[in-house]
Amino acid sequence: MINALERLRQRHAGPLPDKMAAFGISGGGAAGLKKLFMTHPPLEDRIAALKASSL
Protein backbone atom coordinates (compact mmCIF):
# COMPACT_ATOMS: atom_id res chain seq x y z
CA MET A 1 0.00 0.00 0.00
CA ILE A 2 2.85 2.38 0.82
CA ASN A 3 4.43 1.79 -2.60
CA ALA A 4 1.14 2.50 -4.37
CA LEU A 5 0.65 5.78 -2.48
CA GLU A 6 4.23 6.84 -3.20
CA ARG A 7 3.70 6.18 -6.93
CA LEU A 8 0.55 8.30 -6.85
CA ARG A 9 2.45 11.10 -5.13
CA GLN A 10 5.22 10.99 -7.77
CA ARG A 11 2.74 10.90 -10.64
CA HIS A 12 0.77 13.94 -9.43
CA ALA A 13 3.61 16.05 -8.08
CA GLY A 14 3.54 18.63 -10.89
CA PRO A 15 1.59 21.87 -11.10
CA LEU A 16 -2.11 21.83 -11.87
CA PRO A 17 -3.28 22.46 -15.45
CA ASP A 18 -4.50 25.95 -16.35
CA LYS A 19 -8.08 24.66 -16.62
CA MET A 20 -8.05 23.79 -12.92
CA ALA A 21 -6.54 27.14 -11.93
CA ALA A 22 -9.39 28.88 -13.75
CA PHE A 23 -11.79 27.41 -11.20
CA GLY A 24 -9.72 28.73 -8.29
CA ILE A 25 -8.42 25.28 -7.31
CA SER A 26 -5.04 25.60 -5.71
CA GLY A 27 -2.39 22.90 -5.48
CA GLY A 28 -0.92 24.41 -2.33
CA GLY A 29 -0.63 22.65 0.99
CA ALA A 30 -3.66 21.86 3.08
CA ALA A 31 -3.73 24.13 6.09
CA GLY A 32 -6.35 25.55 8.39
CA LEU A 33 -9.93 25.58 7.22
CA LYS A 34 -9.10 23.95 3.87
CA LYS A 35 -7.92 20.81 5.67
CA LEU A 36 -11.29 20.41 7.42
CA PHE A 37 -13.08 20.04 4.09
CA MET A 38 -10.72 17.53 2.51
CA THR A 39 -12.28 14.16 1.68
CA HIS A 40 -8.96 12.34 2.09
CA PRO A 41 -5.79 13.17 4.03
CA PRO A 42 -2.78 14.27 1.97
CA LEU A 43 -0.72 11.41 0.52
CA GLU A 44 2.23 12.34 2.74
CA ASP A 45 0.09 11.94 5.87
CA ARG A 46 -1.32 8.61 4.70
CA ILE A 47 2.15 7.23 3.92
CA ALA A 48 3.49 8.39 7.30
CA ALA A 49 0.57 6.75 9.13
CA LEU A 50 1.13 3.45 7.32
CA LYS A 51 4.86 3.54 8.06
CA ALA A 52 4.18 4.28 11.75
CA SER A 53 1.68 1.42 12.05
CA SER A 54 4.10 -1.08 10.53
CA LEU A 55 6.72 -0.57 13.26
In order along its 55 residues, the chain shows pLDDT tens digits of 999 999 988 887 666 666 665 665 555 555 667 777 778 888 889 999 999 998 7
Q: Look at residue 12 in the predicted model and tell me its pLDDT.
A: 73
Domain ranges, ordered by start, for the chain:
2-53
pTM value?
A: 0.57
Tell me the one-letter amino acid at 19.
Answer: K
Closest CA to 4 of 54, 53, 46: 46
2 C-beta neighbours (distance < 10 Å), count: 13
Round to whole Å and give the CA distance between 2 and 38: 20
Quote the DSSP letter at residue 54: T
Give the gyration radius of the chain's Cα atoms. Answer: 13
